[in-house]
Amino acid sequence: MSRVYEVMFIVRPDAAEEDVDKLIAGFSDNVTKGGGVVKTVEKMGKRKLAYMVRKFNDGNYILLTIEANGAVVLELERRLRVTEPVIKFITVRIDEEEKRLAKVKALRGVRRSATPTAAPARAAEPVLEAEEAAEAI
Amino acid sequence: MSEEIEANAPETSAPEAPQAASGPGPAHARPGGRPGGRPPGGGPGGRGKFFRRKKVCKFCTEKIDAIPYRDVRLLQGFVAERGKIVPRRLTGVCTTHQRRLTRAIKQARNIALLPFATRH
């Protein structure tokens, strides 16, 4: 039962590029060793922070999408808390959300294909019935 | 004369009203079921005589289901100048989407994409 998580963390801006890459590699290894799968790694680049975090005004944002169970994520979060260059992180669980989105999309697909054929047929029938009833009376 | 007319009018309308109400009444009890429709009492401070023009939920019309916390530009449209979340009666968002929006804004605040509070 693997769950899908999205982990976004901010690395301090004065960390070198290779250090950042090393960090990401380290975290990815951690996940794969725990039996998880790293789906995507996205470096969102340097951004201005909305407020000061540990006396920094901007930071390097990184987004990881992970498929793993809870224990792996717990370990990853512990590491994120401990590593010095990481100043903030957030983990969001997204598998339920994706399930819901898929369901809605499927429903929309069914509705789209059903209505064009069903609507005219249904609209025609009651009209005919009404006319027949009127004539009978 | 006018009094009689006035007296007649309510009488004729009164017996009709309960009949009319019993039929489609329960069905149309509250037009506020659809997103954007609101009873007139929900106007500015509850005192507006006029029906404020029906604001529709932006997410319902554009069929946006998921509101990601990463989409700062989208979220900024629902955050006031000082960083506070704008209430639903001003933006016209429907309840489900407002709840999701609030969650996304709070997540974005936590990851420093949106401020908690701004001050001049």
Q: Chain B contact for A55, CB < 8 A?
A: no
Mean pLDDT (whole number) for B22-29: 45
Q: Which CATH number fits domain B55-120: 3.10.20.30, 3.40.980.10, 3.40.50.920, 4.10.640.10?
A: 4.10.640.10
Stretch A77-99: mean pLDDT: 90
Chain B from 21 to 60: CB within 8 A of any A CB: none
- Cα separation, B76 vs B111, in Å, equals 15
Report the pLDDT value the prediction gives residue B52, as an integer from 0 to 100: 60
pLDDT of residue A86: 93
Find the CB nearest A88 among B66, B111, B116. B111
CA distances B36 to A76, B10, B52, B64, Å, are 43, 33, 10, 16
Q: Is the pLDDT of residue A69 over 60?
A: yes
Asked if residue B30 has pLDDT above 60, the reply is no
Tell me if the pTM is above 0.80: no
Distance CA A59, CA A64 (A): 16
Answer yes or no: is pLDDT of B38 > 70: no
Kind and range of the H or E run holding A20: helix A17-33
Greatest CA span in chain B, whole angstroms?
Answer: 74
* Model confidence at A50: pLDDT above 50: yes
Q: Is B81 on the interface with A (CB under 8 A)?
A: no
Answer yes or no: is pLDDT of B23 > 70.
no
Is the per-residue pLDDT at A39 higher than 50? Answer: yes
Calpha distance A16→B37 (Å, rounded): 54
Q: Give the strand order in the sheet containing A86-93.
A: A37-53, A56-68, A3-11, A86-93
Partners of B65 on chain A (C-beta within 8 Å) are 100-101, 104
Domain span holding position A59: 3-93
How far A2 CA lies from chain B's nearest CA (Å)? 21
| A6, A90, A111, best to mutate vs chain B, most B CBs in 10 Å | A90
pLDDT of residue A134: 57
Contact status, residue A65 vs residue A40, Cβ threshold 8 Å: yes
- pLDDT tens-digit map of B45-59: 555 555 566 778 888
Residue A122 has pLDDT above 80, yes or no: no
> For residue B103, is pLDDT > 80?
yes
| Whether residue B78 has pLDDT greater than 90 | yes
Among A48-52, A85-89, A109-113, B15-19, the range scoring the smallest mean pLDDT is: B15-19
Q: Is the dihedral of CA A108, A113, A116, A120 positive or negative?
A: negative
Residues of B whose CB is below 8 A from A90: 107, 110-111
User: A110 touching B, CB under 8 A?
Assistant: no
Q: Please tell me the predicted confidence (pLDDT) of residue B65.
A: 81
Q: Taking residues B78-104, what's their average pLDDT? A: 93
Average pLDDT for residues A56-72, to the nearest whole number? 92
Question: Which residue does chain B place closest to A86, by CA atoms?
Answer: B111
Where does residue B85 rank: exposed (0-12), middle (13-18), buried (19+ CB within 10 A)? middle
pLDDT band at A9 (very low <50, low <70, confident <90, very high): very high
A1-5, A7-11, B81-85: segment of lowest average pLDDT = A1-5
Residue ranges of domains in chain B: 55-120
- Number of domain units in chain A: 1
pLDDT at res. A132? 55
CATH code of the domain in which A13 resides: 3.30.70.60
Distance (Å, rounded) from C-alpha A5 to C-alpha A20?
Answer: 21
Give the relative orientation of helices A70-82 and A17-33 as an angle to the nearest 10 degrees: 150
* pLDDT in the model for residue A107: 83
